[in-house]
Structure 1
Amino acid sequence: MRLRRTPLPIFAFLASVVLFAGVATAHGVTTRFDAPIPLTLLFGGAGATVALTALFLSATVERTPTGMRRISVLSSGTVAALRLTARVAFLAIFLLVLAVGSVGPANARDNPATLFTWSVWLKGIGLLAVLFGSPWRTLAPWRTIYDGLSKLEGKQLALFDYPDQLGDWPALVGFLALVGIVENLTRIPDSPRLTAVLLAGYALIMLFGGVLFGTTWFERADPLAVLYRLFGRVAPLKIDGSGIDLRPPWRGCLPRVRSLSLAGFVVASVYTVSFDGFTETPEYQTILFWARDVTGLGSVVSVPLYLGGFLAFLAVFALVAMVTQRISGSAKRGGTRESWREMALALAPTVVPIAVAYEVAHNYPFVLQQLSRLLTVLGGTEIELLGWLSLPAFWASQVLLIVLGHLVAVVAAHYVALEHTNRVASVGRTHLPLTALMVGYTVLSLWIISRPVAT
């Protein structure tokens, strides 16, 4: 069932944000946010927008929308040719990155390897996944090499079956290590040679695991594959087979994830991008220097700070799942009572739009800025891809992306709540714990981006 009316207060608030925008900060932008209205009013308005949306949905929507429309169809031969071209091209770029990172300029700003790896690749492909679904199954260089080896062998390489007990834990551990620690807390992204070593090691681990366990390893153990696939859940344009489907951005967030490790991955994706932004604030610097003095660990103390914060986020999400399960238990479909673990699997995808919104808001300036630098380093004409974006417009984009992401998450959570209750009247109560979490995270996200950059 479609919405019977438009929530005018929501769009009025969003429009006011655009009209009364100030200046901002994020990756690559070093000015302080200077909101034209009191921050408490801004935070309260954003939080109220999310809460009122949940209330509105409880009163007007009764079942999950299933609309999806195919808007483009290509021939199977064309699709196969495009995929082969993309695979070969990305593999060639990957090998070039390894070579240039090893023997090229030592300055990260002048070396195409670092400029490409940490922005165009890691962040840029994530932005593509948000729009069109994950392209990583096609682009992953280690999977291309694996498929080539399998063709030479005449069969798919796999010495053993993938162990069920591993689940998606290798991908979660890999994400925490690669993105949470290496990218955010070490100097590796500033070293072309260390970046090349990291990529070579990553590729060897992926290839070795593929030979041992087959293609399942690439699906469940590659942190980039899992990350981009989660981002692709919100893609409004979904490339499927030989066509492109237009769909609501919450549609892909309705099916539950398959394991608790994957639910933990969702929480990690939300937390890590927030932590990345938080590390630039004076408040984090205060905590960091205090922890250094107390523990005597020096800069390495940032790692337990990061992991401790992740465990705290994980505990809060588990608590929300437990409370939601208790509330919905009396109205459970089929007369059986779900465990909190099953509820966590159902709720986890509804959090993905929040991770996506903050990921896009936090990183799109960084990607465009670094892409501009990469084009210049490669000998192209100097171009500023962010030149068209004024600071007021940038501030507006940050707030709009975060609030809209939370609204999509609220819609997804509402429809999931409908699937776990027999009566529409119970949906509001079932949805309440997750709504409270989303309101809190909306305010937290806006607070992080409103803080000055610590230099």
Structure 2
Amino acid sequence: ALALAAAALVVAVAFAGPPGADANLAPWALYVTFWVGLVPAGVLLGPVWRRVNPLRTLHAALCRATRTPPAGRRALPARLGYWPAAAWLTGFVWLELVAPHRSDPRLVGTLVLAYAAANLALAWWFGRDWFTRGDGFEAYASLLARMCPIGRRPDGTLVLRTPLTGLMTGAAEPGLTATACVLIGSTGFDGITRTTYWRDNVDPSSVPAGTLGLAAAIGAVAALYVAALRLSARLTGQDPAALPARFAATLLPIALGYTLAHYFSFFVLEGQTTVILASDPFGTGWNLLGSTGNRIDYDLTGPTLTAQVQVNAIVLGHIAGTIAAHDLALRGPGPAARGQLPIAAVMVALTCAGLFALLSG
């Protein structure tokens, strides 16, 4: 109920609040607090967004109003897997990184309503299971939650576990590779756009250049990963078509590392704006939280701390991904050590590329 109320407030402020992006709560709540905040929430606390997703609340009410079973009118095809989530996430990162006027509060409000309507209609037809892999944000949060150190045994008991335990199922889930590559490629592209090379040679307002750059970054990550896994399959005598999907979950630590590297200071510093604006959401002079008129405290994280988090997040993310892939390989057929050589080479290449983009900013 609180999550639904917060979402409704953000939409209301988007349309009825101040027209400028700097003074309107909606863009900050969507791009900073929600999008980036899903990462620590999932990794530290587990799949909490699945529990509080306001779309699930609206879906339950819609089903009661239309006397439709929550399981929907038609079974969700298993072959879809995470492909819908990958498509939604691609659209969102394009909006965040490329689209013009993306911070316009009225545009933000319209897109939030359109996204909600589309997913509610699909969930009404396919059932509430749609949100698990079809809702891009819930799928994103739940995938990162696999690395939460808190888990559940089959009997439901909460237990502590190593963060990579949730990646060890080895289940080949359709679309999971694409989803992970979108997360890695988009954050990598975000880093590229901050380099001096990009700023000196590309018009930052060019939508075609940004779109092609984003597509190239995602495509490069996907091509490197699939090529490495196919070569690994040949070295170990396994099915080249099945191996990339089986190891897709091991890309999640890399996606987490890239996200922390690129959004840590952004979340800690710019995230304060959400709290400041929430104190007077409609710009009427309220001071609900006692933060109206406050300014961002840039002393919360300095350049040294930011650099340490960025470098370590990228390096440790790749190390964790390599460990998870090696552990998973040991559980399968074939000579595991030899088969891991292509994956290790790709991990080293991606680490170097990530650090290069970071240090060139």
Same fold (TM over 0.5): yes
The equivalent residue for 1:369 is 269
Shift of 1:205: 0.3
Give the AA of the match of 2:224. Answer: V
The equivalent residue for 2:354 is 445
Q: In structure 1, how many angstroms separate the alpha carbons of the residues matched to 2:187 and 2:216?
A: 15
Unaligned runs of 5+ in 2: 280-286
SS of alignment partner, residue 245 of structure 1: strand
The equivalent residue for 2:317 is 405
The equivalent residue for 2:220 is 312
Q: Contact between 1:188 and 1:195, CA under 8 Å: does it hold in 2?
A: no
Unaligned runs of 5+ in 1: 1-87, 293-297, 330-337
The question of 1:145 aligning with 2:72 is answered: no
Matched ranges for 1:117-132 at <5 A: 117-132=30-45
The question of 1:349 aligning with 2:249 is answered: yes
Shift in CA distance, 383/443, structure 1 to aligned 2, threshold 3 Å: same
The equivalent residue for 1:299 is 207
SS of alignment partner, residue 159 of structure 2: strand
Matched ranges for 1:55-74 at <5 A: none
Task: Single out whichever of 273-282 and 204-213 deviates more from structure 2.
Answer: 273-282
Q: Percent identity?
A: 26
1:214 to 120, 127, 134: 127
**TM-score relative to the length of structure 1:** 0.71
The equivalent residue for 1:275 is 189
SS of alignment partner, residue 110 of structure 1: coil
Q: Contact between 1:182 and 1:188, CA under 8 Å: does it hold in 2?
A: no
Shift in CA distance, 277/420, structure 1 to aligned 2, threshold 3 Å: same
Alpha-carbon displacement from aligned partner over 1:102-158 (angstroms, at most 9, x marks no partner): 011122221111111111111102221122222221222111111123345373261
Matched ranges for 1:19-418 at <5 A: 88-152=1-65, 153=67, 155-156=69-70, 158-179=72-93, 181-238=94-151, 244-286=158-200, 288-289=202-203, 298-329=206-237, 338-377=238-277, 378=279, 379=287, 380-381=290-291, 382=294, 384=296, 387-418=299-330
Q: Contact between 1:118 and 1:189, CA under 8 Å: does it hold in 2?
A: no
Q: Contact between 2:176 and 2:249, CA under 8 Å: does it hold in 1?
A: no
Q: Contact between 1:322 and 1:340, CA under 8 Å: does it hold in 2?
A: yes
**TM-score relative to the length of structure 2:** 0.89
Q: In structure 1, how many angstroms separate the alpha carbons of the residues matched to 2:71 and 2:175?
A: 26
Shift in CA distance, 257/277, structure 1 to aligned 2, threshold 3 Å: farther
2:336 to 418, 427, 451: 427
Alpha-carbon displacement from aligned partner over 1:355-404 (angstroms, at most 9, x marks no partner): 10111221122122233112222243336565232321221121122222
The equivalent residue for 2:284 is none
Please report the RMSD computed on the Cα atoms of aligned residues, expressed in angstroms: 2.3
SS of alignment partner, residue 122 of structure 1: helix
Q: In structure 1, how many angstroms separate the alpha carbons of the residues matched to 2:337 and 2:239?
A: 20
Q: In structure 1, how many angstroms separate the alpha carbons of the residues matched to 2:14 and 2:348?
A: 43
Q: Contact between 2:260 and 2:309, CA under 8 Å: does it hold in 1?
A: no
Q: In structure 2, how many angstroms separate the alpha carbons of the residues matched to 1:277 and 1:351?
A: 18
Shift of 1:282: 2.2
Count residues in correspondence.
347
Q: In structure 2, how many angstroms separate the alpha carbons of the residues matched to 1:247 and 1:164?
A: 29
The equivalent residue for 1:335 is none
Q: In structure 2, how many angstroms separate the alpha carbons of the residues matched to 1:305 and 1:403?
A: 24
Q: Contact between 2:80 and 2:175, CA under 8 Å: does it hold in 1?
A: no
Q: In structure 1, how many angstroms separate the alpha carbons of the residues matched to 2:348 and 2:82?
A: 29
The question of 1:436 aligning with 2:345 is answered: yes
Alpha-carbon displacement from aligned partner over 1:209-252 (angstroms, at most 9, x marks no partner): 01111012212211112211221122223477975432111111
SS of alignment partner, residue 300 of structure 2: coil
Task: Single out whichever of 433-442 and 305-314 deviates more from structure 2.
Answer: 305-314
Q: Contact between 2:63 and 2:124, CA under 8 Å: does it hold in 1?
A: no
Structure showing greater Rg: 1
Alpha-carbon displacement from aligned partner over 1:74-127 (angstroms, at most 9, x marks no partner): xxxxxxxxxxxxxx0010011111110001112222111111111111110222
Shift of 1:188: 4.3
SS of alignment partner, residue 181 of structure 2: helix
Shift of 1:339: 1.4
Task: Single out whichever of 110-119 and 131-140 deviates more from structure 2.
Answer: 131-140
Q: Contact between 2:315 and 2:351, CA under 8 Å: does it hold in 1?
A: yes
Q: Which has the higher contact order (CA 8 A, sep 6+)?
A: 1
